[in-house]
Amino acid sequence: MSKTIKVALAGAGAFGIKHLDGIKNIHGVEVVSLIGRELEKTREIAQRYGIAHVTTDLAESLALTEVDAVILCTPTQMHAAQSIACLKAGKHVQVEIPLADTLEGTEQVAAIAKQSGLVAMCGHTRRFNPSHQYVHNKISSGAFNLQQMDVQTYFFRRSNMNALGEARSWTDHLLWHHAAHTVDLFAYQTGGEIIQANALQGPIHPILGIAMDMSIQLKSSTGAICTLSLSFNNDGPLGTFFRYIGDSATYLARYDDLYNGKEEKIDVSKLDVSMNGIELQDREFFAAIREGREPNSSVAKVLPCYRVLHQLEQQLK
């Protein structure tokens, strides 16, 4: 495909804006339709980014013949059904993490994606962050043998607010969203299969109906182990912090930044064309469309992660 890739983006919230900012830097890609829950707010954002078509109905955008691909930044509970709708409409699709909030949903998307022959990708951003790319390259070259990942995913979200401080229309989830990042990354970095997984959760929030604290342990077929702590209650430094412990080095990854075990910063700025993980994720999506290939973090490649999440959910019931 040599022509400009025309994109519809669904979900004009905090994460949708991150994608719009990333796409601005990618040659040969144009967002032509923006779908949002509130029409006036969506129009304002569309005007800011020069997007002509605005709607509250995904089906209206899927009916546009010029649309080649769709990026879904919508509430988790919509991901599976919307991904399937995009594929059935003949559109390539990238859905933000998580692919779904049930194993059944993820497997349905995977089956339709396989039948369609279209590019179907899930936004497992950690595969694309330069910090994690650096460690992945070290492991792949044999220079670093991962023994343990120690991960902290911490938010202060005791009420149902998004990253912009606005009220959410849906409830986020530690297991099906935030743990998905680390479960997938651990398998990706080790190159093995997760053969053991255990989980504990704290009290259920009386209003939100979800656990606000969780602890997960994983073991890879390579022998490496992972400990993941998650919280929506943390009133302190926020974000996700990764410690890679190996036989030759220790690395600390904080989003796109990387440090060694002595807190000395490692320059990863030349590793890829951008330091923005979301932009790199989008670049991979569009490159896979142009080249007619399976992308990194395709629906098929991340499916094992959701099987582990399902297993953990059964333990917690």
Q: In terms of domains, do 144 and 69 share one?
A: no
- By residue count, the chain amounts to 317
Residues 94 and 151 in one domain: no
177 and 311 both lie in a single domain: yes
Distance CA 17, CA 134 (A): 27
What is the crossing angle of helices 299-316 and 180-190, to 10°? 120
- pLDDT value at residue 207: 86
> Which CATH number do you get for residue 78?
3.40.50.720
The domain that holds 179 is classified in CATH as 3.30.360.10
Q: Name the residue among 212, 215, 228 with its Cα closest to residue 172.
A: 212
Mark whether 164 and 260 lie in a shared domain: yes
Q: Are strands 213-220 and 120-123 parallel, antiparallel or unpaired?
A: unpaired
List of the chain residues with pLDDT < 70: 1-2, 159-171
Entry pTM? 0.94
Nearest-CA neighbor of 214 among 155, 134, 288?
Answer: 155
Q: How many domains does the chain have?
A: 2
Residues 107 and 151 in one domain: no
Q: What is the distance, to the nearest Å, from the Cα of residue 146 to the centroid of all Cα atoms in its chain?
A: 23
Torsion angle of C-alpha atoms 64, 67, 73, 75, degrees rounded to 10 = 30
Residue 260: the pLDDT is: 97
Q: Which amino acid is at 109?
A: V
**Same domain (yes/no): 97, 146:** no
Half-sphere exposure of 140 (CA within 13 A, CB side): 8
Are 58 and 19 within one domain? yes
Could you give the CA distance from residue 93 to residue 82 in angstroms, rounded to a whole number?
Answer: 9
Bridge partners (DSSP) of residue 122 are 95
> Residues 140, 250: one domain?
yes
| pLDDT at residue 2, as a whole number | 64
Give pLDDT, residue 236.
Answer: 87
Residues 15 and 117 in one domain: yes
Q: Are residues 244 and 292 in the same domain?
A: no
CA 256 vs. chain centroid, Å, equals: 14
**Secondary structure of residue 29 in the 3-state scheme:** strand
pLDDT of residue 197: 98
Q: How far apart are CA 259 and CA 293, in angstroms?
A: 33
Q: What is the pLDDT of residue 237?
A: 85
How much is the CA Rg of the chain, to the nearest whole Å?
Answer: 19
pLDDT given for residue 162 in this prediction: 56
Task: Determine the pLDDT at residue 163.
Answer: 56
Indicate whether 293 and 257 sit together in one domain: no
Task: Of 162, 156, 291, give the one whose Cα is nearest residue 230.
Answer: 156
Q: How far is CA 201 from CA 9, 147, 174, 217, in A?
A: 34, 25, 10, 12
217, 194 Cβ separation under 8 angstroms: no
16-27 confidence digits (pLDDT tens)? 999 999 999 999
Whole-number pLDDT of residue 71: 98
The pLDDT, as a whole number, for residue 256 is 83
What residues make up the domain containing 132? 126-274+305-316
Please count the other Cβ atoms lying within 10 Å of the Cβ belonging to residue 92: 25
Closest CA to 25 of 276, 305, 316: 276
In a shared domain, residues 131 and 270: yes
